[in-house]
Amino acid sequence: MTALPPDLFHETAARNAGAARIFGLDEVGRGPWAGPVVACAARLTGPAPEGLTDSKKMSPKRRAAMAPLLRACCEFAFGEASVAEIDALNIRRATHLAMQRAVAGLRLLPDHLLIDGNDCPPWVDCPRTLIVGGDGLSLSIAAASVLAKTRRDQGMVALAQQYPGYGWETNVGYGVRSHRDALERQGVTQHHRRSFRPIRNMLCRP
C-alpha cells in the first residue's frame, strides 16, 4: 500500500490546543563519517509546496528544487554541531545541541515543537510532540528535513573542493566504498569524526 504524504494533522492538533507558533524540528547527518550534524526548525507560513515529503524520499534534484520554495514559505533557522563537538559529546548529544541552536536562532521562540523521532532533547521546555517517522507524517518536519539536508549537502560539496578525492560532493561524508577507499589512500582529515569506530580503528593501526 502506498504511504500517504505528510499533512498538517499534528500542526492542527497543536493549534487546537492553543499554540500559534508551531515548528517542525529535524536533523540530518547523524550517520556520516565526516562533516557536521545539521538541524533545522521550520514553520510553514503559507501553503506547502506540492510534492513536499521526507527528504530521504526525494532525489537530490528534487530537494534542490524544493529548497527555495520552502525558503519562500517558511520561517526557519539552522543549527550545527561541529565534528569536534560530535567527538567530544557523542553524536546523540551533539544532535541535541544542533537542534537547540536551531530553535535559539528563531526570531521568536516556538509555542509547540513537532520533533522527528522519539528522543526528546533535555533542553526542550515548551509543549512538544515526538513523532517517529515525522518527516513523512508532518509537513512542518518534512520542510525542516529538506532544508537541513540541502544545507548540509551544500556544505559537504564546499568541503569536497578543499579536500578532493573523498567523494564528499556525492557521498556527503557517508561511509560508502568510495569514501573508504579514499581514506586508505589519503588518510584521515580534520573533518572526519574520530570518535566513530571506522575512523578510530584506522587511526589506531600500528
Binding-site positions for a divalent metal cation read 26-27, 116
Query: For residue 121, how far is the Cα from the chain centroid?
Result: 15
What whole-number distance in Å separates Cα of residue 55 and Cα of residue 63? Answer: 7
Q: Are strands 112-116 and 128-131 parallel, antiparallel or unpaired?
A: parallel
What whole-number distance in Å separates Cα of residue 167 and Cα of residue 182? Answer: 8
Residues marked as binding? 26-27, 116
Any idea how long the chain is? 206
Query: Of 34, 31, 85, which is closest to residue 189 (Cα–Cα)?
Result: 34
Collect all residues with Cβ–Cβ distance below 8 Å to 106 and sequence separation of at least 6: 23, 41, 75, 77
